[in-house]
A and B are shown apart, each in its own frame.
Chain A
Amino acid sequence: MSPGLDYVVIRSHAMMAELLSPEQIRDLAERDSLASFVEQLAETSYGEISIAAEGDTSIALESIFYQKFIERMMGVVDLAPTNIGDFLQSYYYLRFEVINLKRIIRGMYSGLSTSKIMESLIPITPYKVESYEALVEAGSLHDAIMRLEDTPYEPLISSLELTEKYDALWPVEIALNYLSAMVVFRSLERLPQNDRGLVRRIVQAEADVENFLVAAKQRSAREEARSPEEMFPTTYDISYDMLREAIMADDLTAVINSLSPPYNEILSPLYEGDVALIRSRLRQYIFDIAAGGREVNDFGFNVVMAYLIFSEIEKDNLVGIAWGKTQGIQSEDILKYLAIPQ
């Protein structure tokens, strides 16, 4: 274990104590009002939260939870040794930057003001682009994408033609998804052999489930659907043939049943069209992988990855609870979509 990794592992262990326990998350979800939720949250590591009187409360809270997660993430990712750091930066910074680029593109497409677009971005420092403001101020979607020249996002320029032809954003979004997936897979290969197992299982599960969901969505336009090989940069346990079958199937039951565990279990809510439940099951599965990784080795990269995963799941849970409480949603309807370990 390198000295750099030692420090990050010890730091992750220490910071792990700050995370909310499953009981605390459940307790927060069961609060009867938003005020009670904020009051209870003040007794945790989040402390007192002040929310501006005007504007959307759930979005203000979401921003606070993102901010907290980014602080935690940077406290680990920026200190990790180069090979591990490269992967973590691709997995986290690039993922968030891709979300921001999508929000910029959507905002420009729908004619939102610069300030509104900037407000919708995840508060991270630009990773591979110079500045988000420069993109937003480009004036048009075409100019904004052209400004990505000489960045790793340059391949997006070739998707502009289709975007303009169909007056739709899906060509750019698919290109962005493809690009970010490729970068994550490449950086995964550079991880030390010993550390690759846990991350590979996580990245594979995410990629396979997302591929399947995209394939399931393509069913409604199966005549125009492109081949899975063109759409998905890579597949693991759910092969291109299975994805092709999913695109062509009228009923997904048989296709999902033919998948190996855990995918048949994770994807089964698709029968009833409850896709959100698939995402919460996937988070739960990833949580279990990370927890299992700690059991195998609690003094290596597994701890760092587990800390980041637990922290991100906590952020997602809190964002969901905050929105549900703002809307007065019943606790059981919120709890259904949270990933809380049993």
Chain B
Amino acid sequence: MSATTGVRPTKGYLMEMKRRIGFIERGTEFLKLKRDHLAKELTSSIDILKGRRGSLLEELRVAYRAVTAAYISLGPTEVQSQAKSIKSRLELEVLPRSVMGVRYPYIKVDKQPQITGELDITLSEAAEKVLSVLDDILQLAEYEARAERIADELGKTNRKVNALENTIIPSYRGVIKFIEDKLDEESLEELVRMKLIGGALARRRG
């Protein structure tokens, strides 16, 4: 079935089509702006992720080595017993944030764990190293979720722009051209008809 099936070649319909394509083109422009903005946000998020991930992995290796050393030195039961004596634990909230209508989780730390005092120095050193990377881990998790959601939305927006630019708008243009051609053809026929009638009337008078 062609795009012009069921099209009424009238001036009213042509005006409606032109109004619609104008609206669609404006929408497409907005979507393109959104796409560009999302691409910019994604690029900057990825740059931050690349930089932070590298340094975080190294910090995590150091923290993990310290935890390993504490376990080997104190034994697993002692480590677990000491770790349980920490009453003030990490408390956080996951709140929604939005960029260009894309919602992503934002982590708000309400309370940092208090590790001083309760732990043996071996475990305390390990806990401090883990605690020092905790903020970075949370921020990285936030950026990863943000980048993931932005990339997802960017993909969707891109598909919408492509569909509008390559399918919807050309099909509307096709319909408009078809109607305009039809209307031109009709007005030419009308002109020829009028000329023939004019000629016939002139011959009758003459």
A interface residue numbers (CB < 8 A to B) = 56, 58-59, 62-63, 99, 102-103, 106-107, 109-110, 112, 120, 167-170, 173, 213-214, 216-217, 220-221, 273-277, 279-280, 316, 319-320, 323-324, 327, 329, 333-334, 336-338
Contact = CB atoms under 8 A, between A and B. Distances in A.
B167 interface: no
* Interface SS of B by simple majority: helix
A106 B75 CA distance: 16
Given A112-B84, A276-B122, 11 more contacts: A63-B77, A110-B86, A169-B85, A213-B121, A217-B124, A220-B116, A274-B66, A324-B68, A324-B71, A327-B71, A336-B69
Nearest to A278: B122
Contacts of A110: 84-87
B118 interface: yes
Interface of B: 65-66, 68-73, 75-78, 80-82, 84-87, 116-118, 121-122, 124-125, 129
A56 B69 contact: no
B81 A103 contact: yes
Contacts of B118: 168-170, 173
A274 B75 contact: no
Closest 8 pairs (CB-CB, A-B)? A276-B69, A276-B73, A320-B72, A106-B85, A170-B117, A110-B84, A337-B72, A275-B122
Given A56-B76, A106-B84, A333 B65 contact: yes
A279 B122 contact: yes
Nearest to A334: B72
Given A106-B84, A329-B68, A62 B116 contact: no
Nearest to A213: B121
Nearest to A338: B72
Contacts of A214: 121
Given A169-B118, A273-B125, A120 B81 contact: yes
A289 B22 CA distance: 92
Contacts of A275: 69, 73, 121-122, 125
B76 A324 contact: no
A221 B87 CA distance: 19
A181 to B, nearest CB: 15
A107 B84 contact: yes
B75 A323 contact: yes
Nearest to A329: B68
